[in-house]
Every structure is written in C-alpha cells, then in structure tokens.
Structure 1
Amino acid sequence: MEIEDHYALLLGIHSPWEISSVDLDMASSRVDIEVEYADTSGVCPECEIMCPKHDDRERRTWRHLDTMQFATYLHAQLPRVKCKDHGVKTVEAPWAAKNSRFTLLFEAFAIRVLQASRSIEEARKLLKLNWHQVEAIKRRAVERGLARRDTAPIKYLGIDEKQFRSGHQYITNLVDLKQGRVLDVVEERKEAACKALLEQALTPAQREQVTAVALDMWKAFANAVEDQMPQAVIVHDRFHISQHLNQSVDQVRRAENKQLAREGDNRLKGTKHFWLHNDENVNLAHREQFDHLKGSNLKVARAWALKEHFRPFWDYRSKGWARRYFEQWYSWAIRCRLEPVKKVARMLKAHMDRLLNYFDHRISNAAAEGLNSKIQTVKSNARGYRSFEGFRTSILFHCGKLDMLP
C-alpha cells in the first residue's frame, strides 16, 4: 500500500478528496500531509445540493493525532461552490468541524484527555497546545453537546447558587435532580437571571412538564419558578434548612463563648464543630467532652437540642403528622429565649406549606450540592476563572453529562 493510501484510509478520506503527498521531517519530528480536492463541483453546506466549483480558499492547516510521536498536520485548500440559492459557500472538510484547526479525531482525543486531567494546564502540556486552543476545543465540545441534548420531560429540578468571585458575586445553576447533571448556569442570583436560566435551559414544553423544584428560601428563585412554571410545586430544600439551624446554633455559641471568656470560663473554646455535627457523628475522641457540654445548662446546649429535635420532622410519611410535630417543635423553639433560633423558627413557620410539599415530592438539592462540590474542584484546579463564560463552559463540560465527542 502506498503511504498516501495508508493515510487516506486512516483519516477516512475518499473521493473527491485525495492525499497528494506525505512529507516526513525527521529533524523536526513532524509529518505534513497534503490533501487536494479533485472535482469541478461540490455540495453546498446550506442546502446539500451539488453545485459547480467557484474557486479555492487559501491553504489551511489542521492538527491531527501524532504518528508514532511525530506531530502530524493536514494541509488543504477548501473549494468554494456557487449555489444559486445561497451564493458562494465553502465546502466542508470531512476531517474537521467548521472553524476548527484540529481534525475530528484529534478533538475527540483532546476531549477525553481534558475529562481525565486534573487541570487544563496538565492537559495542555500533554496535548502540546496553548491555553486558547484548549479552551476552543472545550467550547466547541460543549456547544456540540448542548445541540445534541434531548428534550425529554424532566420531572424534578433543583436551583442552587454558587459563589463565583469574592465580594458576593454568585452564579445560579439549574440541575436535573434525577440524572444528576447541570442543565445550565447564569451569572448572578437575581430573579431576572433565574428566569433567563429557565428559559435558556428548558424548552417551553419541558417547563410545562416539570412537577416540582427544590430550592432554598431565596425569594428571587421562588418568584422566577412561579412565573415560568406556575404548575410546578416548590419544595424548600431540607439541607438548606439544616444549614439555617446550624447557623443559629453557631450564633448562640459565639455570643455565649464571648460572655464566658470574659468571666474566665473557656468551656466553649474550640468546640465549634461539636455543635454543627449530628449527635451520632461526633468524633469518639471528643464524645465524653461533648456529652458533658450538651448536658449542661449552657444556652448553646439548648440551641443544639432544638436543632436535633427538628430532624425527625423529615421522617414522617404524611403531611398531617409532620405538621403536628412542627407545631410542637415551634412552640418549644419560640419560647426558648434564644433569638437566633427564634428567628429561624419564624422563617420556617412562614414557609410551612413549601416545607410540607416535601412529603408529596421527596426531593432535595443533595444532587445539586454534590455537583457544587465538583464545581468547586473544577474552579480550584483552574485557579479561578477570568470570565463567567469560561467558568460556564467548564461547568457544563465536567458536570453537564453532555455527548461532546465529534
């Protein structure tokens, strides 16, 4: 077999394209392949009708997979055809995507390397590319994946926020709770941003088919859901509620620790994480110390007990019994004389109906929180992002479960 035929077979190149020459440069460890178009007509990329050839574009170069560790490049002049309906158009190269300077096989390999690499820098070095080239491959991969994403019904959604930069700059992400994938991301956490997120991530039919949405008590998110998906039930996320209760316990601890320290009592020094754990998760090495503290007359011990006694609320099987339990817990919480706890209790009371929706649709943002951890890893490995678009591309690349290969 001639070397030209060998490469034509490997690259999947066939008539009217043909390989005219293969040049091996041992000194620079490089292989250059010349491809020519041998026909007087071609297919219009718009209407796919055969049209007469008009002329040739300037010579272009595409990076291909290495040949035995030799960098391999394809060179060709793409022909232009003259279509009676669409004018002069460039014929598409069968070995590369439009506007790409890499072959489809190289892009597929690069995507797999990026998915497996800890950071872009590591992938860049392995692929022998610069940062902009790697980002372009990622961007095209995500665009390809989003274009292929199906429009099947999505029953349960989760909306959550993630800090993008310091100074209260956030992003909002939309999660398919059943499949554990990020559907899309927008900048900010305002109502308008959340509405735009729902519009760009879901088709009108998909929005109509959503049954329930898990979110925290941020009013902007609830307003956006009610506006875009009025039929969907809002379920306040149990993990965010636990977070509010933990924060109230920590506020009580900090205030009490300052008061005790002024009196020379350091019992609460270094105990922050004791009170934020559930009882069964306290480290065995600190069990005796914590048992003594939680059984004392400290204010934080009362706050912690209230937090722990809220947990059985989620175990009920019916709304009626859950409501009765909440009313008993609320009566205790509102009389505890601990203002941070009372504040959270009032907030939960005000959102009671959406808390009770959990017993009809047992969903939470656990999947979203897990994806947030993955997003944080992506962000840390990249040492941060200069632009939101770059951050969004990386999130969808690693967390969108997209079909991105050419």
Structure 2
Amino acid sequence: MSNQIEALFTTALGLQPPWHVAKVELNTGKRRIDFEVEHTGKRAACPACGMEHQLIHDRVRRSWRHLDFFQFEAWLHAEIPRVQCTGCGKTTQLPVPWAREGSGFTLLFEALGLSLCRELPVRQAANQMRVAPKRLWRRVRHYVEVARARDDMSGVRYVGIDETSVKRGHEYITVVHDLEAKRLLFATPGRDHTTLQAFAQELRAHGGDPQGVEHACIDMSAAYAKGIAQALPGAQISYDRFHVVALANAAMDEVRREEMRSSAAAVRDAAGTHSKKTLRQLLWGMRKNPVSWTRAQFEAMHWLQRSNLKSARAWRLKQALRLVYREAGASNSEEIAHGALTKWMSWARRSRLEPFKRLAATLKAHLAGVVRGMLDGRSNAYVEAMNGLLQQTKTAARGFRKVENFIAIAYLRMSKLEHLPKNPLLPAIARDYGRYRHVCC
C-alpha cells in the first residue's frame, strides 16, 4: 500500500524518472503533509554546459512550500544533486522540475499566489496563503518582469496618457494605455515630458514604433504635450472630454464658493427660510446631471434659475459646454464643432465670471486638440476608470511601500499579459454548469 501511495503522489506531482516520491508523512496535529522526493540517478547532464553523463558530486537538501493537500499544508523536500563537470570544470546544482532556482515555493504555489493577487490586495492574499507579504511581492515583480519582457507592442496606434497618485503628497506615476486593446502599456514614476521618452524606448524594446503612434489622448498638461512632440512625433493630440468638462466643473465650483464667501448673507436671504437645506442641495445639484436630481435638488435648482446669482450663470455655462460636446458628436463635423465651441468661448469671455474667462482662454490656446477630442470617439474614460481601480486597490492594501510594487500590481491586473503562469485551480476542461442548474434550482 505504501508503494502505491508514493506512486500516486509521484504522478500527481507530475514527476518523471529519475525523480519520484520516496516517502509521505502526514501530521494531523500540525495539519501538515511532507513529501520526500528522491533523484535516483548516479549521473546527469551538466546544467552549465550540457555535457552528458557527468558524475554527481554531492547532494544539497532543499525544501519548498506546495499547494495545500485538502486542509493540510504541503511541503516538498529533496536532496538535490550537484554535478561536477569534467568539461567546463564547474560544480553545478541540478534544476528541479517543480520550482524555480532559488525559490522556496513550487511553481504551482507561485501561480496560485499571482492569481490571488490579481483579485485581492497582496496582504490579504498573503494571509490566505499563510506567507509573508514581502515574499509574495517578490514573486509578483519577478513574473511581471518575465511576462513583460515577452510582451508584444507592435500594433500600438492609439494611446491614452494620464497621471495617478502613488502616495500622499506629490508623488505620481505616468500611465500609458492602449486605447484599442484596452490595456496598460507602460507606467513609470514622475509626470514630466521625460516619462514619454521612456515610453518610446519601451515601445521600441517590445517591437513597437514610436513614429507609428497616430493618436494621443491627454489632459491639458504642457509637459505631456512636449513629451509627445519629442517622443511620438506622428501622434495627433486630442484633449479628452472628461478633462475639459472637469475644468468647467472646477470653474463653476470656484464661482459658487466665492459668491458664498463674499455675499453669504444675501444668498441666505434669497434662499428663504430653508436656506441651509437649499444651499446644501445646490452643492450637489449643480454638479450632477439633471436626470439624476432628487426632488429636493430639483426644487433647489429651480430656485437657483429664478435668482440673480452668479452661480446660476456659472451652471448654465457648464451645461452649455456639455451641449456643445453633444452637438459636435452628433454632427461629426469639424466645422460645426469649431463654430459651437467658438460661440461658447465668446459667451464665457463676456460672462464677467473670471474662472470661465480663464477657461475660455485655456480652450482657445488648445483649440485644435479640443475640437479633435470632440469628434474622435476615443477618450481617456477607460484610463480614468483604471486609475480609479488602482486607487481603490491602493486603499484596500493600505498603501504600497515601494513605487515598484505599485507599478508591478498595475501591470499584473491591467496589462493583459499573456505569458503569466495559469491559475492551477482552474478546471482542465471547461464545464457547462448550466446543464446542472435544474438540479440545484
């Protein structure tokens, strides 16, 4: 029976001669199972130069953590042969088929760790696997680096570029996404023009052509515009609708705050007996789309439009800019988009609202890119969504001690890397669970 059990585990571990399981020890008290693996050969090929039939010099004992066996923690132990080669003169340890050199985990255990880190904060994944988080971080960085070395970027034509914060303060990374493939291409510390030069170098290293990038969607960052001109000379710049409307929202908020500070008493008097409630509803009603207003916000905004407050003009300007984008998208005409935006900028300049006058000047300085962003169906909405997901991940993980860790987890989750280890718990054959729905329902 003992030989049958050892043969069973030899097959389950995928071992081939001369490797085999020689002994299995189960400790139910410690909830642990240990497998002793043996190499039965007396000669082997030299791992350094490949010369065949070299004598085994000695053996070194090693241990590896493996996937749990039912509820038991599983470990592999082996005396690893070292080959003394007569050809190259080196004494080299044989590689084992179940683990990377220098790793204390088996390949399957590392693959499970990567799969968990794709869905969970690394600390939480480490707790489930009962390992130190820093050991899991090392595996994430290693496998991401290996997979990215084989990544193909030859088809990149349309990119979205943005920044996202790493830690509190002013520590940022620049992220570059492929807007067609919907995946992260590149991330690096900083947010100046040199980050795009680094992206161009990375693109070349992975089979891409910086001059072949046709379109770059960015916010109104002068640093990114400069970097695109230097590193991606063939790319046309468009300014994303999300950022332009965000600038209008910021201008509207500035008008509202200034008006509340400078003439708070007059605003409260105009709001009437329910002034505090009305002003609170205005705060959110001015920022939301009308279709999303609550009844209280609808009443507050109705009152605002009948007032003579500057905030009412600011809100109308912001809504009018949204309509400009809608008209431009519907017409798909550069002439109509240019004309509608020019009329809006003229209104903003005559509005006697300083924040909107500044916004009009900003849009005029970037007019071609703004119009292009109106007509182009591509936007940084995907990039913004991914940045939001990264921020949620960072919060759940209670921060990242190293920027390299932040970037590694970004690649793992968002780069759609094809050369990562597969989850060992996935079924070998896809099953149609719908066939059995009637059994449990």
Q: 1:7 to 1:168 in 2, by over 3 A?
A: same
Amino acid at match of 1:376: Q
What is the alpha-carbon distance in structure 2 between the residues aligned to residue 83 and residue 290 of structure 1?
A: 88
Are 1:279 and 2:290 an aligned pair? yes
Query: Paired residue for 1:36?
Result: 38
Are 1:171 and 2:186 an aligned pair? no
What is the alpha-carbon distance in structure 1 between the residues aligned to residue 319 and residue 267 of structure 2?
A: 29
Q: Given that residues 170 and 187 in structure 1 are in contact (C-alpha distance below 8 angstroms), is that contact kept between their aligned partners in structure 2?
A: yes
2:325 to 289, 314, 338: 314
Are 1:374 and 2:374 an aligned pair? no
What is the alpha-carbon distance in structure 2 between the residues aligned to residue 228 and residue 84 of structure 1?
A: 49
Q: Given that residues 152 and 207 in structure 2 are in contact (C-alpha distance below 8 angstroms), is that contact kept between their aligned partners in structure 1?
A: no
Are 1:269 and 2:279 an aligned pair? yes
Q: Given that residues 203 and 210 in structure 2 are in contact (C-alpha distance below 8 angstroms), is that contact kept between their aligned partners in structure 1?
A: no
Amino acid at match of 1:269: L
Are 1:405 and 2:424 an aligned pair? no
1:314 shift after superposition: 2.5
Query: Paired residue for 1:213?
Result: 216
Query: Paired residue for 2:29?
Result: 27
Q: 1:86 to 1:380 in 2, by over 3 A?
A: farther
What is the alpha-carbon distance in structure 2 between the residues aligned to residue 214 and residue 92 of structure 1?
A: 47
Query: Paired residue for 2:300?
Result: 289
What is the alpha-carbon distance in structure 1 between the residues aligned to residue 91 and residue 230 of structure 2?
A: 46
1:97 to 100, 115, 127: 100
Deviation digits for residues 188-244 of structure 1, max 9, x if unmatched? 212223322443356363433322111101111111122111111111111011111
* Local SS of the residue matching 2:208: helix
Query: Paired residue for 1:390?
Result: 405
1:115 shift after superposition: 3.0
* Local SS of the residue matching 1:142: helix
Query: Paired residue for 2:426?
Result: none
What is the alpha-carbon distance in structure 2 between the residues aligned to residue 214 and residue 47 of structure 1?
A: 51
**RMSD of equivalent CA atoms:** 2.5
What is the alpha-carbon distance in structure 2 between the residues aligned to residue 275 and residue 309 of structure 1?
A: 13
Query: Paired residue for 1:181?
Result: 183
1:377 shift after superposition: 1.1
What is the alpha-carbon distance in structure 2 between the residues aligned to residue 23 and residue 99 of structure 1?
A: 25
What is the alpha-carbon distance in structure 2 between the residues aligned to residue 330 and residue 321 of structure 1?
A: 14
Q: 1:56 to 1:210 in 2, by over 3 A?
A: farther
Q: Given that residues 185 and 392 in structure 1 are in contact (C-alpha distance below 8 angstroms), is that contact kept between their aligned partners in structure 2?
A: yes
1:140 shift after superposition: 3.0
TM-score between both structures, scaled by the size of structure 2? 0.84
2:113 to 110, 114, 125: 110
1:62 shift after superposition: 0.6
1:353 to 354, 365, 368: 368
TM-score between both structures, scaled by the size of structure 1? 0.91
Q: Which runs of 5+ in 2 are unaligned?
A: 272-277, 423-441
1:294 shift after superposition: 2.7
Q: Given that residues 42 and 50 in structure 1 are in contact (C-alpha distance below 8 angstroms), is that contact kept between their aligned partners in structure 2?
A: yes
Query: Paired residue for 2:309?
Result: 298
Q: 1:357 to 1:86 in 2, by over 3 A?
A: farther
1:144 shift after superposition: 3.7
Amino acid at match of 1:337: R
1:299 shift after superposition: 0.9
* Local SS of the residue matching 2:242: helix
Query: Paired residue for 2:229?
Result: 226
1:326 shift after superposition: 1.3
Query: Paired residue for 2:274?
Result: none
What is the alpha-carbon distance in structure 2 between the residues aligned to residue 109 and residue 66 of structure 1?
A: 11
Q: How many residues align?
A: 405
2:247 to 244, 248, 266: 244
Q: Given that residues 235 and 363 in structure 1 are in contact (C-alpha distance below 8 angstroms), is that contact kept between their aligned partners in structure 2?
A: no
Amino acid at match of 2:210: R
Q: 1:355 to 1:293 in 2, by over 3 A?
A: same
Q: Which runs of 5+ in 1 are unaligned?
A: none
Amino acid at match of 2:279: K
Amino acid at match of 1:8: T
Does 295-304 or 133-142 show the bigger shift?
Answer: 133-142
1:359 shift after superposition: 5.4
Q: Given that residues 97 and 103 in structure 1 are in contact (C-alpha distance below 8 angstroms), is that contact kept between their aligned partners in structure 2?
A: yes
What is the alpha-carbon distance in structure 2 between the residues aligned to residue 159 and residue 78 of structure 1?
A: 49
* Local SS of the residue matching 2:38: strand
1:88 shift after superposition: 4.7
